[in-house]
Structure 1
Amino acid sequence: MKTTNRFLKFILQDTDKKTVRKFLVQHKFSSSQLHNLKNKGGLIFVNHKQRHFNFRLKTGDELLVVLSSEAPSDLIEPMAGKIDVIFEDEYLLVVNKPPGIASLPAKAKSSKTMANLVKAYLIEHHENSSIHLVTRLDRDTSGLMVFAKTSYAHSLLDQILHTDDFQKFYLAMIYGQLTPPTGLIDLPIGIDPAAFYLRAIDHQKGKASQTIYQTKAVYPGGSLVELKLLTGRTHQIRVHLSAVGHPIIGDEMYSKKKDPRIKRQALHCFNLRIIHPVTKELLNLKAPLPEDMVVLKGALRGERNG
């Protein structure tokens, strides 16, 4: 299997640390990445000459870091299939996940997941096919998912994941109307004692969880709500909306009822605003509302199909 090296270029500024090792630590290289750089085929060039970690730098030096190759994991098989690429560069891949497909394989490896599809896509495009999942979505939630192409990019993204540099916005269709129409749900979430795969509000053992919401449209019997995650708990939006008495339409797990108008929870990650951790460019990425939620919106408005 072909693996590819990744290149990072830096120009030394006055405020930068002046040895290679300290400079790399300053620029968010973890100890394991430094180890890989030193022992697994990474290279460092200063002004086009190969140097070691203890080399002294000066302002204006050009530093080229050749990241060590990453062997892809055998745990995720490449599986061919169509993926909807929203953004891609040498560091990141952002895809629009359809509903009904998991983000990562469970212990049984046979079913197709986004990770399997992305791995096949990377191999087809002669990329390093190590999978670095930055954000995941529940099987029946649709929308934007972020993959990093290297462990270095993954670690940079992890460091900004729950900050203003990495903002995640969702659209949900809920039963009823939230009061007030805009606000913050601040309720701790823990594992539901009734079932390990469920989550519940737990004021004793739960982890702090915050979701900002804004009502975008009101219909007879339902609403369209925009939500912004300030924390990243499992099932966070679903649990929070259920806890305040307005579960997501179609979310049988938390609303305790089936809805004939949609076959899954009406929840979609429609917008990511990310300060690119390498280029510092603002990525404002969007994924349109999927067809089943468009149909549901029409039903809530009282429109009839056909």
Structure 2
Amino acid sequence: MKKFLNQQGVSHRVYSDLKAQGIIRINGKQASPAADLLVGDTVQVDLPPEAADDSVAISDVPIDVLFENRDWLLVDKPAGLNVVPGPANRTDTLVNRIKGHWQATDAENQVPHILTRLDRFTSGVVWVARHRLANSLASQMQADKRLQKRYFAIVSGQVKDDHGTIDAPLASDPGGFNQMVSPEGKPALTEYWVRERFATATLVEVQLHTGRTHQIRAHFASIGHPLIGDDLYAGPANSAIDRQALHARLLAFNDPFSGEPRKFISPFPADWEALVTALRSESK
């Protein structure tokens, strides 16, 4: 039974929860987790609802929902909002707002499993699993690289090649909060396409082939093109935007529950559009 469920994407942790609190049915009849399976058997698992964590504050600030069903929540996160509670903000992060959203709709499961975390000042699509099994399946999809994520960034200077990759290991800088290219770091691969060149900057579309902290920001800084507005990586300031010019534009995957292809696109925010307009004007 355990091997079969694992092949369906049920992680060890979810299986442990299932053994302790859930219900397994084989061909409609309740069964033990140790039961043997035969070819043609139908297996159904019922996991208990996930109650809200009382230690997480509720925020009533609305969220911008791109999509929501039984299994997934896709949110368009604004720049400046932390995703998870931390020392600097424990009451009004994306997690706090999702809790408020789900309590207002009396959702059965009220524990958000954040699947794609963005930096505070990065805008765009955030993917959330609505229950343990969805979280397990999504984690496996990410490990197998069956998830498509595209970012847009505006970097300083003119990037020479229309298409390229940055293949350089990244490690935490012991002297700061940034990441740095280091032979001691973890492998990191970034692919990019130039979409528009300005007099002093370049608009690039980016696909991550690894998921390291600050990967886009650190990689472009390492080749002499830090993002516009990125103070941490010495990116030049621009009055049109007061944060790093990075936007999580697209997320796509095949839904493991329904088999449907799903694609979500986050509109470019107002400060991004203002920056593009300013750069185009300067380039005339």
| 2:200 partner amino acid | G
* 2:113 counterpart (100, 110, 132): 132
- The answer for the alignment partner of 1:35 in structure 2 is 16
Q: Please, which runs of 5 or more residues in structure 1 have no aligned partner? A: 1-19
Counterpart-to-counterpart distance in 2, 1:289 and 1:185: 25
Per-residue deviation at 1:272? 0.6
Contact 1:162 1:230 in 2 (8 A): no
Q: How far does the alpha carbon of each residue in 1:148-196 deviate from its partner, in whole angstroms, 9 at most, with x for none?
A: 111221121112215441111001111112121211011111111221x
- The answer for the alignment partner of 2:138 in structure 1 is 157
Establish whether residue 208 from structure 1 lines up as the match of residue 187 from structure 2: yes
Establish whether residue 193 from structure 1 lines up as the match of residue 174 from structure 2: yes
- After TM superposition, the structure 1 stretch with the greater mean CA deviation from structure 2, 174-183 or 25-34, is 25-34
Per-residue deviation at 1:256? 5.0
CA distance 1:244–1:168, change in 2 (3 Å): same
- The answer for the alignment partner of 2:50 in structure 1 is 70
Number of residue equivalences: 282
CA distance 1:114–1:88, change in 2 (3 Å): same
- The answer for the alignment partner of 1:276 in structure 2 is 255
**Percent of aligned positions with the same letter in both sequences?**
37
Establish whether residue 61 from structure 1 lines up as the match of residue 21 from structure 2: no
Counterpart-to-counterpart distance in 1, 2:150 and 2:231: 22
Establish whether residue 219 from structure 1 lines up as the match of residue 198 from structure 2: yes
* 1:123 counterpart (99, 103, 127): 103
Counterpart-to-counterpart distance in 1, 2:224 and 2:89: 37
| 1:266 partner amino acid | A
Alignment of 1:167-178 (within 5 A): 167-178=148-159
Per-residue deviation at 1:97? 0.2
* 1:95 counterpart (75, 85, 88): 75
CA distance 1:291–1:256, change in 2 (3 Å): closer
- The answer for the alignment partner of 2:6 in structure 1 is 25
Q: Please, which runs of 5 or more residues in structure 2 have no aligned partner? A: none
Alignment of 1:137-148 (within 5 A): 137-148=118-129
- After TM superposition, the structure 1 stretch with the greater mean CA deviation from structure 2, 164-173 or 104-113, is 104-113
Per-residue deviation at 1:109? 5.0
Counterpart-to-counterpart distance in 2, 1:295 and 1:163: 37
Counterpart-to-counterpart distance in 2, 1:141 and 1:152: 28
| 2:246 partner amino acid | L
Q: How far does the alpha carbon of each residue in 1:77-112 deviate from its partner, in whole angstroms, 9 at most, with x for none?
A: 121111111121211111010001011111355441
Per-residue deviation at 1:26? 2.0
Per-residue deviation at 1:23? 2.0
SS of alignment partner, residue 232 of structure 1: coil
CA distance 1:114–1:66, change in 2 (3 Å): same
- After TM superposition, the structure 1 stretch with the greater mean CA deviation from structure 2, 54-63 or 248-257, is 54-63
- The answer for the alignment partner of 1:15 in structure 2 is none
| 2:121 partner amino acid | D
CA distance 1:182–1:92, change in 2 (3 Å): same
SS of alignment partner, residue 279 of structure 2: helix
Establish whether residue 247 from structure 1 lines up as the match of residue 244 from structure 2: no
| 1:269 partner amino acid | A
CA distance 1:237–1:34, change in 2 (3 Å): same
Establish whether residue 231 from structure 1 lines up as the match of residue 210 from structure 2: yes
CA distance 1:179–1:105, change in 2 (3 Å): same
Counterpart-to-counterpart distance in 2, 1:298 and 1:108: 33
| 1:55 partner amino acid | A
- TM-score, normalised to structure 1's length? 0.87
* 2:267 counterpart (280, 288, 297): 288
Counterpart-to-counterpart distance in 2, 1:207 and 1:23: 33
Per-residue deviation at 1:30? 2.1
SS of alignment partner, residue 139 of structure 2: helix
- After TM superposition, the structure 1 stretch with the greater mean CA deviation from structure 2, 139-148 or 26-35, is 26-35
